[in-house]
């Protein structure tokens, strides 16, 4: 590959390898902290993470980096040009944050994640509150450093979804919310509802894991370039394209948590295992946005994993691992039960129809915090009220409410909208995929490689060479359109609930 680069370009890539090395080390420590690290090791690990982050910050904002940006800004090599654009954006943003504030922030968020875990376990928001207040203050300050045109929250959105603004979300989300609540009304009025109790039976963790591993294998996940582990809050992490790890969470009384969570995180992992090798060890060997990333996980989890065709093919395999109590459940009853629509407290357990409503609640609270319209101390009450307004239910404790997500503890403000955007992106991609693939036939065959190959060709291989909305336009022929998601949900659940 190096033969296609000039000497200056090769020097730049060698320089970037230093940044990549520190980031990979930090990623490995982050994975360990969330999976296997002993509690007493957290403090020193936090210091190590801070050191690594500081090194990345120094290199990303160095005079040497600025020299490469100036020299290669107009490179004829498209990969170098895109890489320099990424580095220049990061350079400009990072230079605006004083190094002492950046270091303090890294230490704060590294510690806060462990505090959040304990607070959630003990249903103790007040323990976590002072950490969250500091994190919010830092994000407000960072947004001011970076600058924005219309809304302070836009500066944070840009970190996860370049090109998407509050103006876009405030137009799309209310429209989607109205359609979802209308569909939810139809579900509630149906007299032919599935019975969820059919599938709520003890299912040993080791057997759930065996089935989940077989599903990952079926999806095309490369186990020579990854692994499956257990964690409190499921995630996937790409240390590099040849080391992309998946985690899941097991509930022995409800297998859906692990099975669909594993498929979801597997979708993320396939994206990062699917980057074009020409992009390896460059700044564009990354997902183009978290929304596009979520489109992949939600596509696999919902459009594939929750489909009738998937269970027509895999139900017998499932029964090989399931306890005896599952063996008398009719396959159609099973399919309807796993697709039950019922507003619940936990986002990662939410059904397809209510999932995006969870995201809108978080988005509105985040936006309010960053624009200083609400305060952290009021979050539990505001959270519960929005749950009641949007989903018709109210959490009995903060562990099932405001403390349930890890994102705020790690400073991920601006991230949550990507989940709903990803769901809409995924529905659009499904419609485009259907132009060349008979999805039901492919899924029913058990050979999912045509789906993986289509996603590799159209999404994965590009890394961040294209902006998210440009990529969506190239693949689907149009911009963001929530109608595809509404149509998908309407058609699917009309058959399940017979309205």
Q: Is 268 annotated as a binding residue?
A: yes
Residue whose tokens read 């399919």? 335
The residue-averaged pLDDT of 275-289 equals 97
Q: What DSSP line would sit under 308-326, residue for residue? A: HHHHHHHHHHHHHHS-GGG
Segment 426-480, tens digit of pLDDT: 999 999 999 999 999 999 999 999 999 999 999 999 999 999 999 999 999 999 9
- CA dist., res. 347 & res. 237, Å (int): 20
User: Is 294 annotated as ligand-binding?
Assistant: yes
Mean pLDDT of the 227-254 span: 95
Q: C-alpha distances in angstroms, 98 versus 54, 148, 401, 414?
A: 11, 19, 35, 21
Q: Report the candidate in 260, 261, 225 with the shortest Cα–Cα distance to residue 245.
A: 225
Please give the biggest Cα pair distance in the chain: 71
As given in the structure block, the two tokens for residue 219 are 């999806």
Q: In this predicted structure, what is the pLDDT of residue 353?
A: 96
How far apart are the C-alpha atoms of 261 and 334, rounded to whole Å?
A: 18
Report yes or no: 239 and 27 within 8 Å, Cβ to Cβ. yes
Query: For the chain, how big is the Rg over CA atoms in Å?
Result: 23
pLDDT band at residue 50 under the 50/70/90 scheme? confident
Distance CA 240, CA 481 (A): 32
Q: Residues 329-339: what's their mean pLDDT?
A: 96
| Cα 253 to chain centroid, rounded | 25
Q: What is the pLDDT of residue 51?
A: 93
Residue 173: what pLDDT? Answer: 96
Q: Are 402 and 386 in contact (CB under 8 A)?
A: no
Write out pLDDT tens, residues 75-87: 999 999 999 999 9
- Domains of the chain, earliest start first: 2-149 (no CATH), 166-497 (1.10.1370.30)
Please give the helix or strand (H or E) that residue 236 lies within, else none.
strand 236-240
pLDDT over 50 at 292, yes or no: yes
Q: Is 57 annotated as a binding residue?
A: no
- The predicted pLDDT at position 394 comes to 96
In this structure, how many other beta carbons lie within 10 angstroms of the beta carbon of residue 122?
A: 13
Q: How far is CA 257 from CA 13, 96, 112, 118, 453, in A?
A: 41, 41, 25, 21, 27
Contact assessment for residue 205 and residue 251, using Cβ atoms and an 8 Å cutoff:
no
Instruction: Provide the pLDDT for residue 349.
Output: 85
Q: What is the mean pLDDT of the chain?
A: 95
Residue 3 confidence (pLDDT) above 60: no
Q: Determine the average pLDDT of the residues in 164-176.
A: 96
* pLDDT score, position 37: 87
Q: Which residue has the higher pLDDT, 102 or 402?
A: 402
Catalytic residues: 265
Q: Is residue 159 very low, low, confident or very high in pLDDT (cuts 50, 70, 90)?
A: very high
CB-CB contact of 297 with 268 (8 Å) = yes
- Look up the pTM and report it: 0.92
With 80 as the cut, is the pLDDT of residue 220 above it? yes
pLDDT tens digits, 19-30:
999 999 999 999
Q: Do 232 and 185 meet the contact criterion of CB atoms below 8 Å apart? A: no
Taking alpha carbons only, the member of 368, 363, 331, 361 closest to residue 343 is 361
* Averaged pLDDT for residues 230-246: 94
Question: Would you state the pLDDT for residue 67?
Answer: 98
- Tell me: pLDDT of 2 over 80: no
14, with CB counted inside 10 A (0-12, 13-18, 19+), is exposed
226 close to 245: Cβ distance less than 8 angstroms? yes
The DSSP letter of residue 11 is: H
pLDDT score, position 1 = 41
User: In this structure, are residues 79 and 465 in contact, taking their beta carbons and an 8 Å threshold?
Assistant: yes
């Amino acid at each position: 590959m190096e033969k296609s680069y000039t000497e200056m370009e090769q020097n730049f890539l060698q320089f970037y390898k230093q940044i990549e090395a520190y980031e990979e080390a930090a990623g490995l420590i982050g994975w360990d902290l969330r999976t296997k690290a002993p509690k007493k090791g957290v403090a020193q690990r936090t210091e190590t993470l801070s050191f690594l982050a500081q090194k990345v910050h120094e290199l990303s904002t160095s005079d040497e980096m600025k020299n490469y940006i100036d020299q290669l800004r107009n490179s004829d090599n498209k990969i170098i040009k895109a890489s320099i654009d990424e580095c220049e954006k990061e350079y400009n943003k990072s230079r605006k944050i004083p190094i002492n504030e950046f270091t303090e922030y890294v230490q704060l968020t590294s510690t806060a994640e462990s505090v959040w875990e304990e607070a959630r376990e003990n249903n103790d928001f007040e323990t976590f509150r002072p950490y969250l207040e500091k994190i919010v203050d830092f994000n407000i300050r960072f947004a001011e450093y970076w600058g924005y045109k219309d809304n302070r929250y836009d500066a944070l959105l840009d970190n996860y979804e370049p090109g998407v603004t509050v103006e876009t979300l405030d137009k799309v989300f209310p429209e989607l919310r109205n359609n979802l609540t209308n569909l939810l009304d139809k579900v509630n009025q149906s007299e032919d509802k599935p019975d969820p109790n059919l599938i709520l039976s003890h299912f040993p963790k080791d057997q759930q894991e065996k089935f989940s591993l077989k599903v990952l294998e079926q999806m095309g996940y490369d186990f020579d370039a990854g692994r499956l582990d257990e964690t409190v809050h499921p995630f996937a992490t790409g240390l590099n394209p040849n080391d992309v790890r998946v985690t899941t969470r097991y509930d022995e009384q409800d297998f859906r948590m692990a099975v669909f969570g594993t498929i979801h995180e597997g979708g993320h992992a396939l994206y990062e295992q699917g980057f074009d090798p020409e992009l390896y060890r460059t700044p564009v060997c990354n997902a183009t946005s978290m929304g596009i990333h979520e489109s992949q996980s939600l596509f696999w989890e919902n459009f594939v994993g929750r489909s009738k065709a998937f269970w027509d093919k895999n139900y017998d395999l499932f029964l090989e691992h399931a306890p005896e109590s599952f063996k008398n459940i009719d396959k159609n009853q099973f399919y309807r039960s796993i697709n039950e629509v019922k507003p619940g407290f936990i986002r990662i357990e939410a059904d397809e129809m209510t999932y995006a409503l969870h995201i809108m609640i978080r988005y509105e609270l985040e936006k309010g915090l960053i624009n200083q319209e609400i305060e952290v101390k009021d979050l539990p009450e505001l959270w519960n009220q929005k749950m009641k307004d949007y989903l018709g239910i109210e959490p009995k404790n903060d562990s099932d409410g405001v403390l349930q997500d890890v994102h705020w503890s790690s400073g991920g403000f601006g991230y949550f909208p990507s989940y709903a955007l990803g769901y809409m992106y995924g529905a659009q991609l499904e419609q485009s995929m259907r132009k060349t693939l008979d999805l039901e036939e492919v899924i029913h065959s058990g050979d999912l490689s045509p789906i993986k190959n289509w996603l590799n060709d159209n999404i994965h291989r590009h890394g961040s060479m294209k902006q998210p909305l440009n990529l969506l336009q190239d693949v689907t022929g149009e911009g963001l359109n929530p109608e595809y998601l509404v149509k998908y949900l309407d058609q699917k659940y009309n058959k399940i609930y017979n309205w």
